[in-house]
Amino acid sequence: MPRTAVATDAAGLGRARAGGFVAPALVLVGLFLVFPALWTIYLGLTDYRLTGLAAAAPKMVGLQNFRDALADRFFLNSLWLTLIYVAGSAIIGQTVLGFALAWMMQKVRPSVRGVVETVVLLAWLLPGSVVSFLWWAMLNRRDGTLNALLDTPGYNWLIQHPMLSIIVFNTWRGTAFSMMLFSAALQAVPPSQLESARMAGANGAQQFRDVVFPHIRGHVLTNTLLISLWTFNDFSPYLLTAGGPNHKSEILPAFIYNRAIGTGELGYGAAISLIMLVINLIIALLYLTLLRTRKVKT
């Protein structure tokens, strides 16, 4: 049977029918991803508010929201706190702790390893709200677990050390991913190369530098990219500190929520969201460029 539209794809579907298969997914993506994104861009250019006159008839204000943001010390403070949060909990906390765990787990008995991995993974699998509640119970001023352990009744960790609290919280919660990824990476290091280094007299640090790290370099970059982005966009610290006290732990997602929902400045919140998106893109591009130059070199 000759067909006028020759299907050039492997399955022989032709464009129209292939498009039919993809259409439901495209509609969903469009409805829940593309449209809100475009809507956010639009909102960022208005003075749209949750209540009042501007809620009924928002006016276009152009780039005013962005100009306001760059002059807003609360925004700049929030940006700075976010950097600390990402550096502390993602890059230092999760990467270093995750690698240390993966490294130690190589040498222990499989039974111990299974228990540790399950426990660590559990922290990762629990919903953010549950983990937040667990840490709230841990750090609570009255009858909190940590105060009971340290015998410091009445000490309010979330007030005294809000940034440290959310950094530890996120490290605890997210380390499993780095650990799993590094475990897999370490297993791919050929034992004979490590032994070859040992035969040459290399100590542990030299073995790591000359054999292990070159093998897992790509994994380190990928892992850092993923957890940086996740941490950058992470909202769950809000459940612990709500950005407080006095904006001391108001990382960007908390800042946006407080401005957009808390004080009702939807237009301003949308503009900040857009800035966040751009920062995300820059981080991703940076890592991808790094990864690509590594690949070219090897």
Contact positions with another protein (CB under 8 A) in 42-81: none
Q: Does 121 bind another protein (CB under 8 A)?
A: no
Q: Which residue has the tokens 């629990």?
A: 126
CB 103, min distance to another protein, A: 19
CB 182, min distance to another protein, A: 18
# binding residues, another protein (CB under 8 A): 16
Token output for 103: 């490294």
Nearer to another protein, 51 or 298 (CB): 298
CB 95, min distance to another protein, A: 21
Nearer to another protein, 117 or 210 (CB): 210
Nearer to another protein, 128 or 214 (CB): 214
204 to 233: interface string for another protein, x by CB under 8 A: --x---xx--x-------------------
Q: Which of 161, 198, 219, 247 binds another protein (CB under 8 A)?
A: 198
Taking the C-alpha atoms of residue 223 and residue 167, their distance in angstroms, rounded to an integer, is: 18
Token output for 43: 């909102």
Q: Which of 200, 278, 281, 288 binds another protein (CB under 8 A)?
A: 200
Taking the C-alpha atoms of residue 169 and residue 226, their distance in angstroms, rounded to an integer, is: 18
| Residue 154: partners with Cβ closer than 8 Å, 6 or more residues away | 141, 142, 147
CB 204, min distance to another protein, A: 11
Taking the C-alpha atoms of residue 170 and residue 68, their distance in angstroms, rounded to an integer, is: 30
Nearer to another protein, 87 or 220 (CB): 220
Q: Which of 24, 142, 201, 246 binds another protein (CB under 8 A)?
A: 201
CB 104, min distance to another protein, A: 19
CB 200, min distance to another protein, A: 4
Applying CB under 8 A, which part among 7-15, 136-144, 150-158, 203-211 lies near another protein? 203-211
CB 213, min distance to another protein, A: 9
Taking the C-alpha atoms of residue 128 and residue 115, their distance in angstroms, rounded to an integer, is: 22
Contact positions with another protein (CB under 8 A) in 155-194: 190, 192-193
Taking the C-alpha atoms of residue 44 and residue 218, their distance in angstroms, rounded to an integer, is: 37
Kindly list the residues in this chain that would bind another protein in the complex (CB under 8 A). Answer: 190, 192-193, 195-202, 206, 210-211, 214, 298
